[in-house]
Amino acid sequence: MDIDAHHAGTYVVARLAGISHREAEIIAHAAQYVDDATNEGVIHFDIKPENVLVEDLDGHPNVKLADFGSCHSIYSKPPFTEYISTR
């Protein structure tokens, strides 16, 4: 994951909204992963709290996105019927 301005902007907006430091960090990392996947041509159609996995790693959250079973390639033709399978 490349931490860039998208990560920083998401973190700042979350903190301004009154979200705690730890939760804002989790949100920023998850948003960065979605941004990175989209930049690589993958659209994750099932983003929800259950698909954001968080592990405490030396006091810092280690965030991972899960369940890419319903993702699609941005290069497939609409209505995005070409699935990228994880099975």
Q: Residue ranges of the domains in the chain? A: 5-73
Residue with tokens 């592990």: 55
Residue whose pair of structure tokens reads 């941004």 in the numeric block: 35
In angstroms, the CA 45 to CA 73 distance is 11
- DSSP structural state of residue 77: P
Of the candidates 2, 35, 36, 46, the residue annotated as catalytic is 46
Indicate the burial class of 55 (C-beta count within 10 angstroms; 0-12, 13-18, 19 or more): exposed
Q: What is the pLDDT of residues 42-75, one digit of tens each?
A: 888 788 889 889 999 898 888 888 887 777 777 7
- pTM score, two decimals? 0.74
- What is the structure's pLDDT at 19? 96
Residue 46 catalytic?
A: yes
